[in-house]
Each structure stands twice: as C-alpha cells, then as structure tokens.
Amino acid sequence: MTEDKFLPKKYSESFDVSKSSADNPDPWLALYLDRSIQIDDEAKAALLVSMRSKSREILFPLLKPLLWLVLHLVTAIRILVPNLFASSKILHRMIYFGLRNFVSPEANFIILRHFHIGSEILAFIASNVKDVEIKLNPLRPSKLEDVLGEIFLKHDLNLFNFVINLNTELRKQNRQIETPETLNFEAISDGEFAIDAFPNRWTNFLDVQSAVEIYTPVYQLFLPGSDFWRAANSLQLDETVGLYVSRLLGNNQYLGLLNNKHPLVPLPTTGAGYRLLLHGLASEELHAILREQKQKQRDKTDSPVKRVESR
C-alpha cells in the first residue's frame, strides 16, 4: 500500500447518539445533531472532528500568541518591502507540503470542499441573471496535488473578477439582479464531491483552525502586499455574494447568519485566519440552502404520476 492509498472515512460515523449520557452530554454530539443552520452532514461532522481534536484543544491556544506576533512582524515587513519574497508558486508548494504531511484528513476534506462549493455558487448566480454572460473559472480539486495549480490565489481572483464582470454588465443595462420566474439549479450538484482520500499518517494531526492560522502569515509573506490585502478582503464578499443569491431566491433569511460583513468597511487583515473559517462556514450554509431549494423545486415540478411510479 502506497502512502497515499488510504480508505476514505465517513466522518458522521464519529458521532453515536447511543453513547450519549444525560449526566455527561457530549457537546460535540449536540452540535452535530443540531439543525439550527443548514450545512451538509458530512462537512459538519468533519469540522467537528477537527475542532474537538487534541490539536485544536492543546496546540492551538499555545500557537495563537506566537502566530499573532509573527503576523504583525510580517505586516511590518510588507509595509517596508511590499514585494520581498513574493512568489505564488513557492507559496502553494509550501501549502501543499503542509497539507500533505501535517494536516489531518478531515481538515483537508473541509479545505478542498470549499473550492467546489465556491465554484458552484458563482455558477448558480451566473446562470440565473438573465442577459448576462460571465466567463467562469471553476476550481474542482480532487486531490492535494491540485493545490499546486495556485488554486488559493485563483479562488480570490475568481471572486473579484466575478463581481467586476457581473456588475459591469448590469450597469451597462442599467438594472439590478432580479428573481427569475424559474430558477436554474443545474450548477448545484447533488451528493458528495469527487475528492480522493487523504494521507493519514501519525504526522497528519493538525486541525483546520490551527492550519489556517499557521498559513495566514505564510500567505502574507509570500504574496505581494496588494495580493494579500485583496485575499483578506475577499472574505467580506460573503455578504455581497449572499445578497446576490438572496435577490435571486427572493428570500433574505440567509443574510442573518453572515459574520464577514460588507467589504465597504474593510476589517483589519490581522484577523484574516479566523474570518477565513467564518467564510468557509458561510459558504457551506449557502450551498446547503441552494441544495434544499433545488430539491424543493424538483419536488414541486414532479408530477403525481411520477411520484407513484418512483415508489
């Protein structure tokens, strides 16, 4: 068996309600079972497995003060020499090396899922705004090696280019995004994404929050100052994209769950690591809502005859 041939794991199997005790309830089980927000069960389970790990419980609190100092040091370096060490290729090689050798399978699963989700959400918006043609650059990583294609940088570029191109077309036509008579959900997939299993050696122990926080100063160091600023502020496009989808759906319920507020008032880049996690959660929630709406539309358009035949 080669080092990368590991069997995929169902993270939801890590939560067993039969083992719950009324005298000592498991808070992680409670969060897994809770459905106050919409999120894919397997993605939620992977996130909770990562958050309850010893890495998150013990290592992260110890790392946080050190990473805060490093981030401010790198910020000072970037102010003085904006382009020193700048290399996206080196950055992505370092990210790949870390993900492959030190990051846990559940954290890698969450990270690679995010690119699929982001691509589908943008494609959904593009396919439902009438009389607008937008060139998309979908990112569909199936394995860690795909990170070497500079997908983190491309993800940020995709977001800003999408906002620019969409609104350029809408301004030319002097109109806003409107709710269509029938929504097109072809861009929103059903089921799991095509993602391979991840390395699961003893060194693959880092939880998703520790990994994100560690890579934030590395990301800042190996990107030009303007690129890092853009990447950090792309997180606040959560509300922008959420507003686009809300107008298409004719429903604003999702917006109340957003924590990365509108980019007209940029937040400090020093909190980018934590806001990146909120960005991932917001994307998962929005994608889950779109999947639910897709199923509701499918059920509504399904004829009674077909329903009987399918039984």
Locate the domains of the chain by residue range: 39-301
Catalogue the E-assigned strands of the chain.
Answer: none
pLDDT score of 295: 92
Mean pLDDT across the chain, nearest whole number? 89
124: burial class by Cβ within 10 Å (0-12, 13-18, 19+)? buried
pLDDT at 69 > cutoff 60: yes
> Mean pLDDT, to the nearest integer, of 184-203?
93
The tens digit of pLDDT for each residue in 7-62 reads 456 898 889 888 888 888 999 999 999 999 899 999 999 999 999 999 999 999 99
Contact (CB, 8 A) for 134 and 162? yes
pLDDT score of 182: 93
The tens digit of pLDDT for each residue in 72-116 reads 898 888 888 877 788 999 999 999 999 999 999 999 999 999 999
Measured in whole angstroms, how far is the alpha carbon of residue 222 from the centre of its chain?
A: 22
pLDDT at 231 > cutoff 80: yes
Longest dimension (CA), the chain: 70
